[in-house]
Chains A and B, each alone.
Chain A
Amino acid sequence: MTTSEHIEHSEHIDSDTGKLGMWLFLFTELFLFGGLFIVYAVMRSKYAADFHHAALELNVLIGATNTVVLLVSSMTVAMSLTAIQQKQKNLAIGLIFITLILAGVFMVNKYFEWGHKISLHLYPGSEVMKTLPHGEIMFFGLYYMMTGLHALHVIIGGILLTIVMMRISSGKINQEHYLLQENGALYWHLVDLIWIFLFPLLYLIT
């Protein structure tokens, strides 16, 4: 009896430390993007007029659509955790599947957005770009860097959630053991958090 209680106790600690480790990783992610936000802020105050002009090129509708897509996907992944805690296995799988579809929608939007800009020769190193004022080159450089790094996180988050979905389906993640799902959800929320700041900074403030 004493032994089993002891095991229960140490397992409890494991779950907490596993989550703590994820949070520590998320902190490093915050500073990774934070560095870019600081560069953006300083460059924006230095080249205010150029940034204003360049930001007009961005499509607010696509940006807003992707904001809504990520917010809804954040909710579905949070709900999948509720589902697994309440033993609703199929619902949990379904909700993660919807999250993955929304991640796909986000990436397709991004593809059209970047594709349009590249067709206008607005990409780092193009001949058109070289003729632009220094501040506009800076804006587009930061735009591609920040949204590109963010899109990379969307892809990684998608892969992570696919693994989570497969483990729920095989029963490795269940009502008792769902640390990986919690951490996958935390990662996905981080992707959402970063976009919440990217959207107003790049698309709205012109």
Chain B
Amino acid sequence: MKNENDQKLERKQEILRARAAALAAPAAGKDREAEFDVIVFRICNEHYGIECGFMREVCEAHSLTMIPCTPPWLTGIINLRGRIVAVLDLIKLFNLPDNGTETCKLAVVVGDHEFECGILVHELIGQRTVFKDEIQETDHRSAQEAPPRWLKNITSDRLIILDYEKIRSDKSIIINAEPGEELM
């Protein structure tokens, strides 16, 4: 009985997957005007993307060193081939809805020659190209449903593209406090 139910469920999922592939294929094959390439990753149930140009690399976040007297969204720092990189937790920083069961195994490192920081992610999806016709206006979405500060664009398939310039220019993530001072 149970097995039958499982089999039914699988069959349904298979059908859905096939349908999704059928729908996705023509878009990829079409000659469209490419906007930019992004690295797609997942935090909780949302897919986020960052332009490839601002990416440094993706690494495993298994050797995090926690820093005392820092805000809770600063998970820690990692040694990335000699460079010290701070790793942020967007869940805590933007109070994202979190089921709390999954652990973040990977860190996406962004930066240029001046600035560098890591973002904890649940899963790395991969690289993709974002086309112009995919991008929606930010007005279409409610401000509450997405990170308000770092948002650049949202695609039609709900990919939230983060703006590196906003990350870089965000003063609130710069920690410069004496011990005992109230933290953000």
| A and B: bona fide binding partners | no
Interface residues of B (CB under 8 A from A): none
